[in-house]
Amino acid sequence: MILRLAIASLRARALTVGLTILSIALSVTLFLGVEKIRIGAQQSFEGTISGTDLIFGARAGSVQLLLHTVFRIGTPTNNVTWESVQDVAARPEVAWVVPISLGDSHFQFRVMGTTAAFFDRFRYRGTQTLRFASGQAFDDLFDAVIGADVAAELGYQEGQPIVLSHGIASFVAHEDWPFRISGILARTGTPLDRTVIVSLEGLEAIHVDWQGGGRRPGSPTPKAALRAMDLTPQSVTAALVGVESRLHIFQLQRWINGYRQEPLMAILPGVALSELWQIVGLAEIALRAVSAMVVITALFGMTASTFASLNERRREMAIWRANGGSPGTILGLLVLEAVLMGVIASLIGIALVHAVLFAIRPLIDSTFGLWLPIGWPGAQELMIVAVVIGTGALASLLPGWRAYRMSLADGMMVRT
């Protein structure tokens, strides 16, 4: 009975109720959209590197080592000798090792030296493998592979020559040994998009005539002579490690951390990423707070709208009372109306956010490499909907109490 009356009352005020529902629905859409983006950003962040069991390098903080090797941020304090890399690779627990070397740059982008195995072993976002938008991995001493952002911002194409600079933000270029772009990686949404990748041997070759941070005087070594040299690096920045069995991860980590030939440190990428997210994740709290305030503002609007409609409904309430409706029934009617508006607004908000995400997800993924999750409403979304409905019901208690206090004569009296 009271449900039919509440629905009929809402239909009688369709315009006002519709606008109120729309404002709450848009607020719910914003809040859930922020949650989807937050979850997608966190998953993309945690999926920056996958399938790598350990990263080891010179002893430092775990976050610092992660920033160097994965995000190419900062300058490594020390390198790891090639002999140490070989010792780790020789361990029976190890399935593969991919060394990486940092230090040079190309304009605002970092240069990373590695082996061809990097393109086969590197994983991101779970099981995603590296794909080439054009070209292929390097197979020559002076080949280079560039990330999607490098190609987009500098307008590079496959086959174009590029010149690397010595060090970071350096004006000294290796002009005598230009590289050729052999491939352009498809966008990954990881720091690889802003990286120039060359072979370890190529990185060693352009530094043959350099000593103590500067170039030695005299003519540069000819390329033919460079190709004939043993360009095995003496040291690298770090190495990515995959183990034969995940049961051996901690055993290998302890062995590397206790390595006696030089001070090494091995980290679990997932653990270090979680630590880093705790540091940089403060922004998500601000986003959630802003979107929550939008929802609260909309609920306050619903309360104000209900209050404003009481003056128009004074005679309606009096007629209810005259026909035997108790004050409690009037209060229950207003609360039920608020609950219905909250339910309808929440359902519209959920539908809107999924429709928008479905439409823009391919664009967001191709532009930013951010994969936004879309699926059935989870426990967190349902909890948000329950909070919106419950808060709406609570917000209706004040105008409901006001209607409860109205006297029968107050509604029947004709005001002039």
**Within 13 Å, how many C-alpha atoms sit on residue 99's CB side?**
24
CA distance 91 to 239: 14
Q: What is the pLDDT of residue 407?
A: 46
Residues 184 and 328 in one domain: no
- Range scoring the smallest mean pLDDT among 176-180, 249-253, 292-296: 292-296
Backbone φ/ψ region at 213: left (φ over 0), alpha (ψ -120 to 50), beta: left
- Locate 130 and state its tokens: 């590296």
User: Nearest Cα to 233, choosing from 111, 339, 44, 99?
Assistant: 99
| CB of 41 closer than 8 Å to CB of 72 | no
Domain shared by 109 and 180, yes or no: yes
**Which residues fall within 8 angstroms of residue 119, CB to CB, at 6 or more apart?**
130, 137, 145
Helix extents (H) in 70-195:
82-89, 118-121, 148-154
Judged against a pLDDT cut of 90, whether residue 385 lies above it is answered with: no
| Average pLDDT along the chain | 83
Distance CA 262, CA 266 (A): 13
Name residue, tokens 């938008």: 133
Ranked by mean pLDDT, the top range of 36-45, 220-229, 307-316, 365-374 is 220-229
Q: What residue numbers bound the domain in which 258 lies?
A: 54-267
Quick one: average pLDDT of 354-364? 83
Are 195 and 185 in contact by the 8 Å Cβ rule? The answer is no
Q: Are residues 206 and 303 in the same domain?
A: no
The DSSP symbol for 169 reads S
CB of 144 closer than 8 Å to CB of 154: no
Q: Are residues 252 and 156 in the same domain?
A: yes
Inform me whether the pLDDT recorded for 415 exceeds 80.
no
Last residue of a domain, one of 212, 235, 267: 267
- Of 234 and 374, more confident: 234
Residue 96: strand, helix, or coil: strand
Q: Would you state the pLDDT for residue 408?
A: 47
Burial class (CB in 10 A: 0-12, 13-18, 19+), 206: buried
Q: Please tell me the least confidently modeled range out of 22-36, 120-134, 210-224, 349-363.
A: 210-224
pLDDT number for residue 327? 65
Q: Is residue 273 part of a domain?
A: no
The string of pLDDT tens digits covering residues 198-227 is: 999 999 999 888 766 666 777 778 888 888
List b or e across 86-106, with b for residues whose CB sees 16 or more CB atoms inside 10 angstroms.
ebbeebebbebbbbbbbbbbb
87-143 pLDDT, tens digit each? 999 999 999 999 999 988 998 899 999 999 999 999 998 888 999 999 999 999 999
User: In this structure, is residue 272 part of a structural domain?
Assistant: no
CA–CA separation, 161 and 141 (whole Å): 13
Whether residue 357 sits in one domain with residue 243? no
At 53 the pLDDT is 95
Same domain, yes or no, for 102 and 248? yes
Weakest-pLDDT range from 53-62, 98-107, 242-251, 317-326: 317-326
When pLDDT is averaged across residues 249-269 and rounded to a whole number, the result is: 94
Whether 315 and 199 map to the same domain: the answer is: no
Q: Is residue 390 part of a domain?
A: yes
Let me know if residue 276 belongs to a domain. no
Considering 267, 298, 323, which residue would you say is the last residue of a domain? 267
On whether the CB atoms of residues 266 and 55 are closer than 8 A, the answer is yes
User: Mean pLDDT across the stretch 66-91?
Assistant: 91
Question: Are residues 30 and 88 located together in one domain of the fold?
Answer: no
**How far, in Å, CA of 270 to CA of 250, rounded?**
13
Q: Domain check: are 15 and 150 in the same one?
A: no
Contact call for residues 256 and 265 (beta carbons, < 8 A)? yes
Q: Which residue shows structure tokens 């709208």?
A: 305
Is 385 inside a domain boundary? yes
Going from the C-alpha of 324 to that of each of 10, 335, 408, the distances in angstroms are: 21, 19, 11
The answer to which of 42-51, 149-158, 228-237 has the lowest mean pLDDT is 42-51
In a shared domain, residues 86 and 206: yes
Which token pair is 89? 């690779």
Asked whether residue 305 is domain-assigned, the answer is: yes
C-alpha closest to that of 98 among 55, 45, 147, 47: 55
Higher pLDDT among residues 389 and 99, named by residue = 99
CA distance 97 to 115: 10
Condensed to tens digits (0 to 9), the pLDDT of residues 286-326 reads: 777 777 777 777 777 777 766 666 666 666 666 666 666 66
| Total structural domains within the chain | 2
Q: Are residues 117 and 256 in the same domain?
A: yes
274 domain-assigned: no
Are 184 and 255 in the same domain?
Answer: yes
